[in-house]
Homo-oligomer: A and B are copies of this chain.
Amino acid sequence: MEQAIGVIDSGVGGLTVAHELMRQLPKERLIYLGDTARCPYGPRSKNEVQKFTWEMVRFLLKKNIKMLVIACNTATAFTLKELQDNLDIPVIGVIQPGARAALKFTKNNHIGVIGTEGTIRSKAYTTALKNINSTIHVNALACPLFVPLIEQGGATGEQALKVVEDTLSPMKKNNHIDTLILGCTHYPLMKDTIQSSIGKHVTIISSSEETARETSAILDIHNLLNSEGEIPKHQFFTTGELTIFRKISKSIFKNSNLHTVSIEKAAIN
């Protein structure tokens, strides 16, 4: 199946999902659309997020994608069910794969979740976890400074560690968690800093890695895996500034796969 996998995000965070898809599924072609011009989605109303998400989906459906990955936590929380019910192709979000991985890793049933204010307020992870196991203890914490810090290129170093230490301190008090879900697709970019703050005894779950892995499973059960050997040419689109999008792409991909990617501007509304 040489058709591409479609990936949508409110901006650049979903590029960590794209990066993992390219690493775990090197024969698959991606078409990525980041709505950078209207990012962030977090503070927007449900109606607005649904409207914007459908605009992105329509853009990708015209490109004949075989599967859709919603690489944005807010869009997943507000549109996953609706898109699954209305599209003829498989649709996956970023919340459930992270929740399922955490349920696999935890030994003491105490799971931490960090994300943007919108994601934490939506209780989407708590719902996903407790829907499967109602005895799970969830410790959820909003980390509003992480995304701006990452977007400014400050994911590592002493300043980052200080921000992370301060933000995570309520979670570390009386902390029983043995598993922590990075409930925002930006956070894998500061995973090392988060790990050194929360401690080595905590298993960190990257929703980006887990979403890529479940995309592989879903393509397989739908007989949609690409069996061709050729390395595909990916297309990344942004609704915003090309220069910034290119710069952040470079920092995420560290140039490893970027020669196989074309980056273009898209008008979707």
> A: which residues have CB within 8 A of B?
20, 24-27, 84, 90, 92, 96-97, 100-101, 103-104, 131-135, 209-210, 212-214, 216-218, 220-221, 225, 227, 229
Contacts and interface: CB of A to CB of B under 8 A. Distances in A.
Contacts of A24: 100, 103-104, 132-133
A92 B222 CA distance: 12
Nearest to A229: B134
A216 B100 contact: yes
Contact of A217 (B26, B100, B133, B225): B100
Nearest to A104: B213
A119 to B, nearest CB: 19
A129 to B, nearest CB: 11
A96 B26 contact: no
A221 B104 contact: no
A201 to B, nearest CB: 15
B131 A213 contact: no
A228 B220 CA distance: 29
A211 B216 CA distance: 14
Quick one: which of A26, A97, A133, A221 has the most chain B CB within 10 A? Answer: A221
A133 B20 CA distance: 13
B217 A97 contact: yes
A213 B103 CA distance: 8
A217 B214 contact: yes
A23 B163 CA distance: 36
Nearest to A210: B104
A104 B217 contact: no
